[in-house]
Every structure is written in structure tokens, then in C-alpha cells.
Amino acid sequence: MTVEKAAGAKGGDYIAFNFIIVILQKEKLETVNYSAIFTFHLKTATMDPSSWPSQSELKEIRDIVAAMAGRCIEDVRVVASPYRICPLGAHIDHQGGTVSAMAINRGVLLGFIPSSDSQVVLRSGQFKGEVKFSVNEIVHPKHKIEVSKNDENDSSKQYEECDWGNYARGALYALQRKGNHISQGIIGYLRGSDGLDSSGLSSSAAVGVAYLLALESANNLTVSPEENIEYDRLIENEYLGLKNGILDQSAILLSSRGCLLCMNCKTKEHKLIRSPELQKDQNIELQKTYKILLAFSGLKHALTNNPGYNRRVSECQEAARILLNASGFGEVEPLLSNGKTFALVFNLNLKETFDNKLEPDLAKRAEHYFSENLRVIKGLEAWATGSLEDFGKLITASGLSSIQNYECGSEPLIQLYKILVNAPGVFGARFSGAGFRGCCIALVNAKHADEAASFVRREYQKIQPELASQWKQDKAVLICESGDSARVILS
């Protein structure tokens, strides 16, 4: 079996990053050099028997596509596009903040065969009907889709309620927009991991990336992961008119199993950080150290009293604009990551600055942004030194700030978050995704993963029996591992 690794690293290459972090503590700048910590060994992706996708999943997808196209099963290629979690860096990517993320061993599978002409023919395991269009069409932005005034939500909401072929057309739009010549269509079948769409794990970004990789493979295009991050941003920001940042697609395209991805969403610089155990022994069984819990709330639609994702982004931009105007830099792009904003905030007392310059809601958004950036910086140090306990405490603090300062999360999600924090063996927990629906994530000691999952199922059933009943008991809380980046798997 051949694997085309989207991350593009060659087996055996050693890469040392000189990673300088500036930590802001008590209005002083402290520089820490982690160049030694972040030296690691990259290996070409292989199909681990315990990894995703399984051989049986691949065979099932190939059989379906071969039947659709009337071709041999050996002709079928499969894109494995993983879902992601963001342990630290919640809600700051759209402001150019620094985030952490990792792919998980669940995601979207897109089996496909290059068609003999320009036609794209798609079917889905989750959605009805068949999508057909030609790659010769000139695709225009579709961001005028009607969205409820009070529910301007994240991209997975759009994916769920609109024609499910929009992301395939969006991929064609992005490729055309950047001057790529696309002449070859695909015949494909798309399916996500059972029950995980609309769960806050960035299923929509995984779908967009899957279509990009399939169209690029069918048309023999060589595209870097960094280029595909930009292409998927075009799908979401320009084609669909969403205001999200680049965290999701970056995690999907840049992750490596066992590593924590750190990305500056303003400069696009990124690093992969291994834990000390993995630096010492590349063959260590990662699953013996920690597991990832996915706990589902049962909420698949944002509640109508939530203002939604796009409004929160606008509030952050407004806070940045006011702070920049106050410092005499009103002409600068209104992002909280802007150096002028950063300098203003930390030249003065944080709370005093917000209270004097911003109305209460905007002050909370700004406080979340700056405090979350500091949590990311501290979290990178904790991860690199192997302190999962400290890393977990920061995750929990991130979840609390999301509730109190970013003001996202419905009552069921907040209840689920509190249950996870108190579960045996859990290092830390927070919402996943935009935080208006879906699931919570937790990092848990691998030895206590089963016990913690049972505790969460039992306690959530007590306080939200109706929502908990929407999931089969064995699906309500899943135990996962970190995974590899998106890739095309050949027969």
C-alpha cells in the first residue's frame, strides 16, 4: 500500500527548529529558547494496524466507488481527512493568534476514481441524493446562502443545512481562483466517521480538504499543505462567506501522529512538538501515555438565543479597532494580534485597559484573546517538558474563559464540561469547535480512559437524559488517539 503524505516530510529527515517564544509576565518580556526541545525525527506515514482508517473501512469505500464507476477496485483512491481537536488556542485563530492542535484517528473518507471526462459525480454516506457538476463550470461565491439572523454559525452548520455538494464546488472554486487548470472530474463517495458530523470536530474543514486532495490527485497537481490551507480558507471565507480562521485546515493538513501542532495564525509559521518520551524513543506506544475523550452533548443545532460564530468574530475585531484608535493606530488592520494592540494592552494593566477603553462585552472578548495566547505559550512548554498535568490545567482554564469571557456554550455543554473536569484521570477539558453545540474534549490518563468514559456517560445521563438518549451508550463518549494529517491512499 502506498501513502501520499500531505505534510510532505521525507522519512529519515531530521529537522531542528529554533523556536523563540516571548512570554509576557507582569509587564515584562521574557525570552525562552526551545530549539533543543523541539528537535524531532519525522517518519514517512505507514498504516499502523490500530490507526485510522482500518483495512475494512478502506475496502468498503473502494467497493462502493468501484461499483459506482464500473471500474476495478484497484483503481480507487481514498482520501483520509481527519477531524481535529484544539487543546489550547480557542477562538483566537481568526484574530491571528497562536494555537495548538492535533488531528485524531477519526475523520472523513472520500473514495474516488478520476472520471473519463470533466464530470464530478458524488454520493454520500450521510446525505441523500447525488451531486453532479462539471469542472469546466466557472464557479462563483455562494456566500449569499440564507442564514437565520440569530444563527450565523460555524461552517459545519452551513454544511449540514445546505446542499451537501457545496464543499466540492467550493474546492473547484478555490483551485480555479488560484489559477489551477482543472479538466478531470471525479466519481466519488464521501463518508464521515459514524455520528461525528456536526460535533465540533471540524467535519466541514475535513470535507473541504478531502475534495481538494481528490481533485488535485485526479488532475496530477502538486500542491503543498500550506497552499491547501489557503485553498480551504477560500472555500470557507470566500465561497461560503464564513469568518473563521485557519486553525481547522491547518490541523488537518499539518498534523503528525504523536505531535502537538503549534501555529501562528498571523505569520502562518508552524512547528510540530513531540513529547520528551517520543523524542527519546520513536517507537514508543503513544496510547500508553494519554488518550483523547470525545463526549457528545446531543446538540446538533445551535440554540436560537446564541449569537453565533460570526458575531463573536466581529466583536473581537471591534475591540481591536477601539484599542488601536486609542493608541493612535486607527489605520492598522483591526486584529487583536496586531503588534500595536498587543503593546497597548501590555504597557498598561490588562483589566484597567479593557475597563477604560471597551464596553463590557468587548472587554471580555479581548481578555479571552490575550489570556488564551498566554495559555498557549505556557501549554507549549508544559507539553514539551512532558507535564500533562500542567497542560491539562491550562485546557480547563481555556474552557472556563470560553464560558465566562468569550461567552459561548449552551447549558448542556457547560454541564458536560464540568462533568469531564471531575472525571477520574482527566488532565483537562474544554469545548470543541465553536462551542455552541457538539461535544467537549478531554485529555485523560490512558490507564483511566475507560473509567472516565463510563463516569461521563453515567453523570450526563442523570442531568440530560433526553439529549443523552440521542446517542447509543457506546457512542456517547469515544476514546480516541492523535492521528496523522490528510493524505491520499493508493491501492
Q: How far is CA 91 from the centre of its chain?
A: 11
Angle at 268 between CA 202 and CA 206, to 5 degrees: 20
Cβ atoms within 10 Å, residue 481: 20
DSSP state of 10: P
Q: Of the residues 93, 151, 248, 484, which is catalytic?
A: 248
| CA–CA dist 216, 227 (Å, integer) | 12
Strand 259-264 and strand 290-296: the pairing is: unpaired
* Distance from C-alpha of 113 to C-alpha of 94, rounded to nearest angstrom: 35
Count CB neighbours of 410 within 10 A: 18
Q: What is the DSSP string of 195-221?
A: T-TTSSS-HHHHHHHHHHHHHHHHTT-
Q: Which three cell numbers stand for residue 326?
A: 486609542
Question: Does 194 qualify as catalytic in the annotation?
Answer: no
Q: At what angle do helices 247-254 and 225-233 cross, to 10 degrees?
A: 150
**For helices 360-384 and 350-357, what crossing angle results, to 10°?**
150
Distance in angstroms between the alpha carbons of the first and the last residue of the chain:
6
320 phi and psi, to 5 degrees? -65, -40
Active site residues: 248
